[in-house]
């Protein structure tokens, strides 16, 4: 049986994209809580404190942009590797980028924490497919 998505983290420095994606997830009723974050550093801080606010059986989806200021997606993934073992919940990371560079796609697919690579913006159809997989 699939776990219900407890929380979605939208990690992207583009406010309009985060707003748009939050509206889509809300409309599709995927995720109890949808939290926009604007760089990898904010996201790492949020993830590091998930044990304080989430059940151990929770499923968290992280939609991660690659190119951001402060700490980019690659930096987030490196930092995530350091805290992963301390987390009590299940986390799925979906790289969501405007990059169609084959090197970025391959690098993401080679990362053990990345479940999927999608290009933005998401569509309602994308989210319906995600809902089949993650809820």
Domains in the chain, please, with CATH?
5-134 (3.40.50.2300)
- Helices marked H in 3-39 — which ranges? 15-28
How far is it, in rounded angstroms, from Cα 129 to Cα 21?
A: 15
pTM for the predicted model, two decimal places: 0.95
Q: What is the distance between the alpha carbons of residues 128 and 2, in angstroms, rounded to a whole number?
A: 15
Tell me the per-residue pLDDT of 6-64, one tens digit each, with 9 for 90 and over: 999 999 999 999 999 999 999 999 989 999 999 999 999 999 999 888 887 789 999 99
Contact (CB, 8 A) for 46 and 40: no
DSSP E strand stretches across 40-89: 59-64
d(CA 38, CA 42): 7
């Amino acid at each position: 049986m699939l776990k219900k998505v407890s929380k979605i983290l939208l990690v992207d420095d583009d406010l309009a994209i985060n707003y748009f994606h939050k509206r889509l997830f809300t409309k599709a009723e995927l995720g109890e809580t949808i939290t926009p974050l604007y760089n990898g550093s904010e996201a790492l801080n949020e993830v590091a404190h998930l044990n304080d606010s989430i059940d151990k059986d929770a499923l968290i989806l992280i939609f991660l942009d690659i190119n951001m200021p402060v700490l980019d997606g690659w930096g987030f993934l490196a930092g995530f590797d350091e805290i992963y073992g301390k987390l009590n919940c299940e986390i799925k990371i979906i790289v969501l980028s405007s990059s169609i560079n084959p090197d970025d796609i391959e690098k993401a697919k080679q990362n053990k924490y990345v479940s999927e690579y999608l290009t933005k913006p998401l569509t309602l159809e994308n989210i319906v497919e995600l809902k089949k997989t993650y809820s």
